[in-house]
Structure formats: structure tokens, C-alpha cells
Amino acid sequence: MADVAFQHSSVLGVRTAAKRTGLKNALRRKSTIAFLMTLPLILLITILVIYPALYALHLATLNKAMTKFIGFGNFEFLFKRETFWMVVKQSCIFAVTAVIFKALIGFIVAHFAHNIPSKKQRKWRGMLLVPWVIPPAMSTLAWLWLFDPSYSAFNYTLSFFGIGPIPWLGDAIWARFCIILVNVWFGAPFFMIMYLAALKSVPDQLYEAAAIDGANWWQRIWYVTLPMMRNIIAITTLFSLIVTFANFDITRILTAGGPLDRTHIFATWAFRVGIEGGDIPLGASVSLFMAPILAVAAIFILRDISKRGNEA
Amino acid sequence: MAEVSLRNVVKRYDDVEAVRGIDLDIADHEFVVLVGPSGCGKSTTLRMIAGLEDITDGDIVIGGDVVNDVPPKDRDIAMVFQNYALYPHMTVAENMSFGLRLKRYPKAEIKSRVAEAARMLDITDLVDRKPKQLSGGQRQRVAMGRAIVRNPKVFLFDEPLSNLDAKLRVQMRIEIKKVHQKVRTTTVYVTHDQVEAMTLADRVVVMNKGRIEQIGTPNELYHNPATRFVAGFIGSPAMNFLPCRLEEASGKLNVRLTDRLSFPLPGSRAARYQNVPRGEKLLLGIRPEHLTEGNGHAAPGVEPFDAVLDVTEPMGMETLVYFTLEGTQVCGRVDPGAGARDGAPLRMAVDLNNMHLLNEGTGVVL
Amino acid sequence: MSTLAIDKSGPRRKVKYGSMSRDRVWAMRWSYFFLALFAAFSLLPPIYMLITSLKSSAEISAATNPWWVYHPTLSNYVELLTSNQFLRFFWNSAMVSIVVVAITMLISVPSAFALSRMRFWGSATLATGVFLTYLIPDTLLFLPLFKMFALFGDLTGIQLINRWYVLLLLYPTLTVPFATWIMIGYFASIPKELDEAALIDGASWLQTLTRIFIPVALPGLIAATIFAFTVSWAQFLYPLVFTTSTDQLVMPVGIITTLIKGDVFNWGQIMTGALLGAAPPLLIYAFLMDYYIAGLTAGATKG
């Protein structure tokens, strides 16, 4: 029979007095522990990332000796300098071009790697990822040597084809080419690995269905592969844009911004102005200029991702 | 002392009330099964007893203490999960002894408890293996071993057999019952399978939409359901519900199903339904086993009628027959040799000694 | 029982056995060809580094075939490995990288655990916030940080400029967010019932983390460790800005600033130094490549 026994409650010695506050204690405990566990992370980011970023804004408004507040003075100064606009142009062209090539090459190589049997893939993947594993500063030295004006190994080889010695790093246009090349060499493996993983996650049956529907190889890529990989493509592109845009090592070592400032990007010029030139506020202004461009790129791509997420 | 009491326990998620005031008393050593369809709140209730969910309102008492704010590890309970939840990087022995090791029990005692539980569950050969080397049934045994070793006040089972195939399920049911006979720990067992409920429980708690529909022994629930939900949930194939009316003719009560079909109430039931208004639309609840082939013998309360069968399902030991009465599909169970055929007529008999009358609107059994 | 009759008399396509497989073979051949091409391109610089490192200065300036070593010599290696200065660079790099790895794991593992498992107010925003810090690059922060540390040094007397231990503060800003992200991904893939079983078995949050989560998510831990080490070892900008005296330099900066003396480029030694500088990450990669790749892709595809 139904056992709804209300009368038992008075018999059992019941402690209900501390119920509400006891509950709060339990909650607080879990929350506090969790908070304490994330505290180092929060401190680290607040003190060494967020605060400096804001401090940079403050610095940009000071004069060279950092004694006076000059508002937008630094920016006005920069806007009048031709070098500054060169830097802006070079940074943007450099970042966009490099990322496009990195993505393209990464995508193509990932496809080839995907074609061969899985067991063999490991070996090839291993070799192709090497550029990304070597510290960029070290590998850039090798490229510097390869591009050396007197001893360039490339020039040596090209001379056999009758192509005259190319002033790799001496000529503005060639220097830009070299920087993009090295950047692509360094960054394409990252794209390849990501795309390879994404390719593996596309179900074979989709390709089979497309093949039955009559799609040829590039139609399959356009209609099946790319849409399935939209998210990965967006995320890797965003990451790479930021990293490439903010690149320092490669440019600094290859050309240090030369010849004649023709290869300066934000980071190297900020270093030149801020550290070598001793004008920290001006340097801060230069590097701050990256922020709005990065933010715009981030917003566009993140918005695209969340939109896709909603569609799915 | 390991009684469990739930007093007006409520669980609210934002605006949704998953559990709406549950009152339940479980005696020491009792095996109680919470059964009901998905979403009825049975798992939520179990998890509140375990301490894995906070209680919005009400009290849960284990062994005489209100445990609302007590964390799971201090409630002296053990739980067996649907997905076993075995620690993949530990061996069977380490899985079973984890709780004891945390409480720093002496090594010798841990060893003996693990050995005892392993023997009881017949997994002694497996103690050094890792979960991924075990089959589903073996993993479930290890999960039970983990619970037994703790020697808790209450065992909690959360649909432990749902992931096993049918044959294994039957086996494991027997194992669980055997363990309970040996260890005698108070057990709260959640399942959506009414067969498990009926076979394992001392008492069954049928839940629906966050409330308790009925509590009782399996027999009580089977033969005396209190609501339409319980009547239709317990027993497979399910009870038939036929629209009917109670009529009175020359002082005798009849139940009318269709224009042509009307049965007199047997004496055993007539008294019960004396006060039911005549002519009102009701439901006649009759279990399939009480709709059998007519064998020509008259017995009090057993009324013959003719039916044209739609489909038959030969089950071997019996044949299930389906026919339609005024648009309602009815299920009966006949002897395999009764000559039941798809589409053919069959002389049947209804045993009204086991009938139920229900009010369709309220769902209450009269 | 009716039997199905198979119609064998229908029109037949002339099937060329092997035509499908021949297409596949050609596709494979092209794949291997291009893969070999790209592999050659990828390995070109390190191989060239190796070749040059085996050359004496004389051979280099003689401008013979740069792609071949005629008189291989280990003199560059010997010189560098016996140079106190070079060993100092190596030691600084090793110290910094190892300590930073420890710091990184100590910060990111508990954070990842708390963010992925313990629902608390603000955990979702914090998790996205961690991801977003990568949008603020080090090339934006180095100047204000330089000024901040200089000021700090003036105020407290604790010298933060030109000390290698400063890097221990700075590198984690680069390693912790991604390591946390990797670990969140790995922790999230552990079924929730495991926590509950541990809770019922009597484990506190800390015990659940150390005795259950860390062992089960070990591959993720290894991946995060490798990543943190590689990033620390390869850092160039921060050490360039914050360390200037020769004995405080780490490998990348050390090699570039000391071996390139004015206009006299001792390329044999430079390449040797670069190769030795690239060796630790490469060795780790060679042995633990699968963890490396798994960590990278897990961080992205699970995010």
C-alpha cells in the first residue's frame, strides 16, 4: 500500500536548523576552490598581458622623456612620417600574402598527404612539420646564409642556368619576397597539420555520394571538403593572421627592416624606434597601431565562426 | 541502521520542476525500485539521494540523519552507474579499492574486502586487468564490486543494466538479486524497465512526470494498480483499456463495450462498483492474459465473445492475438493450439474477475 | 517460398579490371612526387645548416660548391661545445625552458580542470578570455613591459632588466593560455560519470584531479609540456629586449649577437650554433612526434 508516512518526521531527531547556511557553505567551497585554482592564470594574464596593453595606451600619450602628456602628439608625428605609412602598407601586404600562401600550400600538401595510406603518412608528416619545430630564429639564420650576397647557395645554383646573382636581401622587392618566402616556409606546416586533421574528419560517404552525383575532383573539394572545413579554416586563418602580422623574428634577422626601411613591419619598427631609438612612447604608438587592425580581423572571423555554429 | 526517507523532496531547474514533492520511506535492508518512463524524475531523485544534485526543497534522511548538505563522500553510500564509470587507468583491484585507499584503510583489510567481493561476483581472475580488457558484463560486475567493498549504508543503482544486451541483462538481474540476498544492504534501484522492477524489488515506486504514482509490492501494483498510468505501465504486453459504460438492468450490473457487446459483472466485482454512476463513460482495464480463447466451459465471471483477429504473434509458449473493438486495438493471449490465424475469427473469453474500471479523465482506478 | 530469379541476361558494361586501380596508382604517384617536393623544400634549410656546419672557414670562403662538403671537419662543433660562452647560452636556455614548463603546467592544469569541470560563476567567460589573450601579441606588449619592469626595478631595487630570470615571468604569458586550452580539451573528453564515481568514492576535488584526471589525460599533459618547452626555447623578442649582457643571454639571442661579430660572419660556427640551438626541440619532436601533433590538433578541433 502507499507508504506516505508523515508521522515519522517527528520521531526522527531532525537537524534542519543549519540547512540554508549549510547549503551556502557547500556551494561556496566548490566555487572558492575553483576560483583559487584559476587564480594564478587570472593574475598572470591581468598583470602581464592586460595591464601592459592598457599601459601601452598610456605610454603612447607621453613625450619621449616620458615627463609630459602630449595626447595624440605621437600619433600626429607618425602620420606625417612616410616611413610609418610604408610600415602599415608593408605589414598588411606581408601578412595577407603570407597567410594566403600558407593556407594554400598547407591545404594542397594536406590533400596529398591524405591521399597516401595512413601508415606512410606518419613519416611524411614528420618531415613536413620540421620547419615549424625548429626555432624560427635558428632557421632564419640558415635562410640568411642561403641569401648571403656573396656566398648564396641559391645564386650558385642559379648561375648554372645563366641567371645572374640575385640581390636577395639587397633589393627591396626581392627582400620582401624573401621574407614572405621564409614566413611561408615556417608557417605552412601548421596549416598542413590542421587541415590534415580536418580532412580526416570529413566522412568518406560524403565524397562517395558526391562522386555518384557526378562531381569531379575540384567540385568535390568545393562542395564537400571546403564547407565541412569552414570552421578550421577560419580559426587557423585568424591565428595565422595575428601571428604573421605581429611577426618579429624573421624580419629582424633577415633584413632588420632594410633595405631603406622597405621591409619594416610594425614589430621591427617599434623595436627600432622604441628600444634602439630609446623613444618608448613612440614605439608604443607604433605597436598599438596593430591593435585595431587585429581587432577588426578577429571580429570578422569570430563572427563568421559563430554564425556557422548557429547554422549547424 | 540504514533507512532512507524522502520528505517532500523537490528539484527545480530554472522554471522546470523535475521532481515535484516526493515522499518515500525505505526500510533497512529493503530493495526499492524507482521505475518510470524517461523524464519522470527517477534518476534525479536517485542523484539527490547520492548528493550529486542539490535539493531545491524537502529533506533526505539517511540512517536517521538529514543529509541535504552532506557531500556524497560523507553519506556512506555507494553507486553503480549506467556507464560503469570505471577508472580506465586502474586495474580492477585498484578500481574496487579506490574509495578505501582514499580513506586510508589498512592494506590487509583492503585486500580481504576486495577478495571477498571479487569472490562474490565471480571476478577473482580479473582483478589485475584494466577496464578496457573487460566485457560489458564484467565491467558491470566490477562496478558492483566497487560498491560492495565500501560496505555502505545504501546501494544506489542508476539503470545499471541498460547498456547490456538482453541475454546478459537477465543474467545480471539474477546476480544483483543474489548479491542483495547475501549482503542485505538497503538498495535504491532506478530503471525504466518494468520487468527489472517487478523481478528485483521488495517494493516498487512508479514515477511519472516528477511525482509518485503508486508505491507497492510488485504483486500489489500488478493486481491493484491505483492509476491508469500504473495499470498501463506495469505488465507486458500492457493492459487493454476499452471504452465502456456501466449499465443496470433488472438489478444486475453490466458493462457495455459496444452496441452488441455487453457483459454482466461477476459477483466478485459487483459490490465494488455499486456506487459508480451508471451510463458514464469509463474505461475497462483488462490484461491480455485474461482475454483467452473460449473453451466452451462456463465459469463465474468468464464471458465468451467472438472476435475477428487482425494479427497474431506466435511466441512459442503462447500466441498473442490482436483484434479491434470499436477502433481500439486489443491484445489477448491464447494457447498456441487454439487455431488463431491472421484475419480469421476466433471464439474468445474474457475473465472479468480481474477487471478494472477506470475514470478516463482522472486516470483513477475505481 | 518464392525464389528470386537473378537476371543474368542484361547488358554488361565492359569492365576493365585495373582501370580504377590504375587511376589510384597515378594519383598516388603524383601525391608522392609532390610530397617529396615539399619535403625537400621543408628540409632544405636544416640540411644546409648541417652541411655548412661541417665546413671549415677556409672551405666556406673558398666558395666551392655550397651544397657539398669536401673536407668535413668537426672543428666548429668542438669550438662551440668547449666555449664557455656558448655553454652558458645553452645552460640559460635549458634552465629557463625547464622552469617555465614547470610553471606553465602548475598554472594551466588546475585552471583547465577548474574551467572544464567545476562550473562556477564566470567560468565560461574566463575560458573564452584565455583564448582571446592570444589576440594580444608579444610584439605589442614588449615595450610597455620593458618600461614597467624598469620602473619596478627603480621602485623596489629588484633588478628586472637584463636578468635571465625575468624571462621566467614573461614566457608563461605565451605558454599558459595555449597549454590551458589543450588541457581543457582533454579534460572535457573525460566522461562526467568518472568524476561522480570519484566523488562517491570519497575523493576531494584535488584528489580527483591528481589521481584520476591527470593519469587519464596524460597524453594531453605530455603534449602541453612539449609545446611549452618548444615555445620557451624558441623565444627571440623577449630575451632580445630584456637581456643584454652576454652571460644572461639565451641561445637564440646569444648565437645571433655574439657569433655575428660586425661584418665578419663566421658562418661555419653560426650554422653549427644554429643547429645545436635547434637540436633540443628537434630531438623532442623526433621522439614524441605523435604527442606533439595530437596536442596541436586536439587544441584546435576540440576548441
For residue C107, pLDDT beyond 90: yes
Give percent of chain C with pLDDT exceeding 70.
88
Q: Who among B72, B82, B150 is closest to C199 (CB)?
A: B72
Which chains touch C (3+ CB pairs under 8 A)?
A, B
Mean pLDDT of B71-78: 87
Closest by CA to C136, choosing from C146, C147, C125, C144, is C144
Which chains touch B (3+ CB pairs under 8 A)?
A, C
The CATH 2.40.50.140 portion of chain B extends over 240-358
- Smallest CA–CA distance, residue A204 to chain B, in Å, is 28
Q: Is B331 on the interface with C (CB under 8 A)?
A: no
Scanning C75-114 for CB atoms below 8 A from A yields: 106-108, 110-111, 113-114
- Smallest CA–CA distance, residue B61 to chain A, in Å, is 9
Q: Three-state secondary structure along chain B?
A: CCCEEEEEEEEEECCEEEEEEEEEEECCCCEEEEECCCCCCHHHHHHHHHCCCCCCEEEEEECCEECCCCCHHHCCEEEECCCCCCCCCCCHHHHHHHHHHHCCCCHHHHHHHHHHHHHHHCCHHHCCCCHHHCCHHHHHHHHHHHHHHHCCCEEEEECCCCCCCHHHHHHHHHHHHHHHHHHCCEEEEEECCHHHHHHHCCEEEEEECCEEEEEECHHHHHHCCCEHHHHHHCCCCCCEEEEEEEEEECCEEEEECCCCCEEECCHHHHCCCCCCCCCCEEEEEECHHHEEECCCCCECCEEEEEEEEEEEEECCCCEEEEEEECCEEEEEEECHHHCCCCCCEEEEEEEHHHCEEECCCCCEEC
Report domain B240-358's class.
mainly beta
CB contact under 8 A, B81 and C201: no
Cell matching residue C157: 631595487
CB contact under 8 A, A290 and C130: no
For residue B331, pLDDT beyond 50: yes
For residue C281, pLDDT beyond 50: yes
> Under CATH, which architecture does the A79-311 domain have?
Orthogonal Bundle (1.10)
What is the structure's pLDDT at B204?
Answer: 96
Q: Which chain C residues are Cβ-neighbours of B72 within 8 angstroms?
A: 196, 199-200
Interface of C with B (CB under 8 A): 191, 193-194, 196-203, 207, 211-212, 215-216
For residue C32, pLDDT beyond 50: yes
β-bridge mates for residue A226, sequence order: none
**More confident of the two residues B181 and A121:** B181
Q: Which chain B residues are Cβ-neighbours of C197 within 8 angstroms?
A: 79, 81, 85-87, 146
CB contact under 8 A, B214 and A2: yes
DSSP code of A127?
Answer: H
What is the structure's pLDDT at A10?
Answer: 39
Interface A-B: count of C-beta contacts within 8 A:
43
For residue B121, pLDDT beyond 60: yes
Q: Is B259 on the interface with A (CB under 8 A)?
A: no
Entry pTM: 0.77
What is the structure's pLDDT at A11?
Answer: 40
Q: Is C120 on the interface with A (CB under 8 A)?
A: yes
Q: Which chain A residues are Cβ-neighbours of C233 within 8 angstroms?
A: 135
Pick the CATH number of B4-226 from 3.40.50.1370, 3.40.50.300, 1.10.20.10, 2.30.30.90: 3.40.50.300
Tens-place pLDDT, residues B213-254 = 999 999 999 999 999 999 999 988 999 999 988 888 887 888
Tens-place pLDDT, residues B133-146 = 999 889 999 999 99
Q: Is C73 on the interface with A (CB under 8 A)?
A: no
- Residue to substitute from A37, A50, A146, A193, interface C, most C β-carbons within 10 A: A37
Q: Which chain A residues are Cβ-neighbours of C111 within 8 angstroms?
A: 37-38, 40-41
Mean pLDDT of C275-290: 89
CB contact under 8 A, A135 and C236: yes
Tens-place pLDDT, residues C293-302 = 877 776 555 4
Is the separation of the CB atoms in A237 and A226 below 8 Å? Answer: no
Q: Is B73 on the interface with C (CB under 8 A)?
A: yes
CB contact under 8 A, A16 and B5: no
What is the structure's pLDDT at C265?
Answer: 67
Which secondary-structure segment (H or E) carries A267? helix A266-271
CB contact under 8 A, A9 and B7: yes
- Residue to substitute from B23, B30, B70, interface A, most A β-carbons within 10 A: B23
Q: Is B132 on the interface with C (CB under 8 A)?
A: no
Mean pLDDT of C121-150: 82
CB contact under 8 A, A26 and B65: no
What is the structure's pLDDT at A305?
Answer: 62
| Residues contacting B58, CB < 8 A, separation 6+ | B6, B7, B8, B9, B10, B21, B22
CB contact under 8 A, C191 and B85: yes
Rounded mean pLDDT of chain B?
90
Q: Grid cell 542539490 — which residue?
A: B54
What angle (nearest 5°) sits at the alpha carbon of residue C54, between those of residues C52 and C57? 70
Q: Three-state secondary structure along C276-292?
A: HHHHHHHHHHHHHHHHH
pLDDT band at C2 (very low <50, low <70, confident <90, very high): very low
- Residue to substitute from B47, B75, B80, B81, interface C, most C β-carbons within 10 A: B81
What is the structure's pLDDT at C301?
Answer: 53
Domains of chain C: 75-108+136-190+218-301 (1.10.3720.10)
CB contact under 8 A, B69 and A22: yes
CB contact under 8 A, A151 and C145: no
The CATH 3.40.50.300 portion of chain B extends over 4-226
Boundaries of every domain in chain A: 18-59, 79-311
Closest by CA to B175, choosing from B144, B135, B133, B219, is B144
For residue C227, with 0-12 CB atoms within 10 Å meaning exposed, 13-18 middle and 19 or more buried, which class applies?
A: buried
Give percent of chain B with pLDDT exceeding 70.
100
Q: Which chain C residues are Cβ-neighbours of A146 within 8 angstroms?
A: 45, 48
What DSSP letter does each residue of A28-87 carry, written as one string? HHHHHHHHHHHHHHHHHHIIIIIHHHHHHHHHTTB-TTS-SB-TTHHHHHHHH-HHHHHH
pLDDT band at B298 (very low <50, low <70, confident <90, very high): confident
What is the structure's pLDDT at C263?
Answer: 61
CB contact under 8 A, B103 and C202: yes
CB contact under 8 A, B102 and C193: no
pLDDT band at C101 (very low <50, low <70, confident <90, very high): very high
d(CA C256, CA C254): 5
Along the 312 residues of chain A, how does pLDDT read in single tens digits? Answer: 443 443 343 343 334 434 444 555 555 567 777 888 888 998 998 899 889 988 888 888 887 777 778 878 888 888 888 888 888 888 989 999 999 999 999 999 998 888 888 788 888 888 899 998 999 999 998 998 888 888 888 888 888 888 878 888 888 888 899 999 999 999 999 899 889 888 888 887 788 787 777 777 778 788 788 888 887 888 888 888 888 888 898 888 888 877 888 888 888 898 888 888 888 888 888 888 888 888 887 787 677 666 655 544
CB contact under 8 A, A23 and B23: no
Query: Residue A195: CA atoms inside 13 Å, Cβ hemisphere, count?
Result: 28
Residue type, C118: M
For residue B165, pLDDT beyond 60: yes
Peptide bond into C72 cis (omega under 30): no
What is the structure's pLDDT at C176?
Answer: 92
What is the structure's pLDDT at B136?
Answer: 87
- Smallest CA–CA distance, residue C5 to chain A, in Å, is 27
